[in-house]
Amino acid sequence: MTLALDPTAQDLLFREARTANTFSAEPVTDEQIQAVYDLVKYAPTAFNQSPLRVVLVRSEEARERLVGHMAEGNQAKTRTAPLVAILATDNEFHEELPALFPHFPQAKDVFFAERPVREQSAALNGALQAAYFIMGVRAAGLAAGPMTGFDFAGVQKEFLDGDHTPLMIVNIGKPGENPWFPRSPRLSYEQVVTTV
């Protein structure tokens, strides 16, 4: 076997995992989401900067406010998912670097003193962490429905602040009735990998 990960886990995380479009009514608990975070927080980011921030949308009032910012095709599934998470980046992540990168606490000022540099780094590393988060949701036996079809400025104004930039919105839960679209093709190894 060329992969150390058990084939059942490979299926759970990759081969059989799908983006869910409908969800059952079974709730997603705070304990499940904490377990997801406590797993994925160990995945790498540059300088261990960890810029991902997660806003869990649980109240009906907040849910309706969020649905109002979603693209039309994403509104119904966002309205009915057991849990919705707004994944965002913290553009002031550098304030945590002395604790997160203790062997070089000066990185905060040496590399990230300027806001445009922080925003660029937070966008890349936050996107990495968002992908890890989706894998963590799958590892918890849940389905994720990540979406970027929404009004980014509206979500930022409604749920975040000027120091946080939304990345994506993820519906989370057990799959519901007819949850999957047909799987789209993937590129082959030969189409993607070259050797020099």
CATH of the domain at 44: 3.40.109.10
Query: What is the block-wise mean pLDDT of the chain (196 residues), using blocks of 10 residues?
Result: 92 93 95 98 98 97 98 96 98 97 95 97 98 98 97 98 97 93 94 98
Print the domain residue range for 150.
26-176
Assigned domain for 8 exists: no
Give residues with Cβ within 8 angstroms of 152, minimum separation 6. Answer: 165, 166
Which conformational region is residue 141 in: left (phi greater than 0), alpha (psi within -120 to 50 degrees), or beta? left
Query: How far apart are alpha carbons 185 and 180 in whole angstroms?
Result: 14
- Sheet arrangement for strand 143-147: 52-57, 83-90, 164-173, 143-147
For 51-99, what is each residue's pLDDT tens digit?
999 999 999 999 999 999 999 999 999 999 999 999 999 999 999 999 9
Residue 42 lies in a domain: yes
Residue 186 located in a structural domain: no
- Is 118 within a domain? yes
Report if residue 20 sits inside a domain.
Answer: no
Number of independent structural domains in the chain? 1
In a domain, 190, yes or no: no
In a domain, 109, yes or no: yes
pTM: 0.95
Residue 164 in domain: yes
